[in-house]
A and B are shown apart, each in its own frame.
Chain A
């Protein structure tokens, strides 16, 4: 991509970075002309994922991009950490399952709020989650 503003990397190392991710994703969602409900769904999903990166991944990076497909515009957000990884992804995507103190809605809930969801992880190799929400 040649337009430098069509992509932003946000390091996630502390609480306030989760808020920063929400703000950047919101701005991109507005640029991609997502409706208010879709903006809210995407921002909420990325808030969950950023917190996972911080708490379970021990920190990492979020990469937010504008994406296009034909006439559709959308926002892609990728969360990468080099933490312990997820040994059982099926279990981790189950509602109510949690390895921490949460409600177990982070991953499974985030998946329901977006149009595309990709989870790439392996025990000991870190975790990358990529989500996309398209304008309608």
Chain B
């Protein structure tokens, strides 16, 4: 099993997924992120899936769970870099991502988080 590194940029946590995800990697990421959010008080989480070539229902559910958990710590989650073929497949699979926001790339993802941070004074 490989640990997905979590980087901190300002008050945003960034996890860039560069491996073929096993179910247990996914669960570990979920736990690691919850811990890092509570440690750092980050207000945003970015999941970069530029390198991910499939998202099945288990992986998609992980995104939704991470987003829901983040909300409990007053943080928002944005998934960035979804490949077109992955997006088409997700829709056909029938998967909705719950509270997860999506953005085309990292830059737009950070912009969404900045906007969400301004809307809710903290």
B91–chain A nearest beta-carbon distance, Å:
10
8 A Cβ contacts from A76-120 to B = 95, 102-103, 105-106, 108-109, 112-113
Indicate whether B72 reaches chain A with its CB closer than 8 angstroms: no
B54 to A40, Cβ gap below 8 A? yes
Cβ contacts under 8 Å, A22 to chain B: 20, 54
**Is A43 at the interface (CB under 8 A from chain B)?**
yes
Knowing A40-B86, A41-B89, A48-B57 touch, does A105 contact B23 (C-beta < 8 A)?
no
- The contact of B88 among A37, A47, A48, by CB within 8 Å, is A37
- The answer to whether B93 and A112 have CB atoms under 8 Å apart is yes
CA distance A41 to B88 in the complex (A): 8
A58 CB to nearest chain B CB (Å): 16
Count residues of chain A with CB under 8 A from any CB of chain B. Answer: 26
B94 within 8 A of A: yes
Distance A112 CA – B93 CA, assembled complex (angstroms): 7
For B95, give its contact among A16, A23, A43, A109 (CB under 8 Å).
A109
Chain A neighbourhood of B101, CB < 8 A? none
Residues of A within 8 A of B83 (CB): 40
Known: A103-B61, A103-B95, A112-B94. A15 touches B24 (CB 8 A): yes
- On whether the beta carbons of A44 and B89 are closer than 8 Å, the reply is yes
Let me know if B31 is at the binding interface, CB within 8 A: no
Within 8 A of B (CB), among A22-73: 22-23, 26, 36-37, 39-41, 43-44, 47-48, 51
Out of A19, A48, A102, which one reaches B22, CB within 8 Å?
A: A19
Q: Looking at the assembled complex, report how far the CB atom of A18 sits from the nearest CB atom of chain B, in whole angstroms.
A: 7
**Chain B residues in the interface with A (C-beta under 8 A):** 20-24, 53-58, 60-61, 83-86, 88-89, 92-95
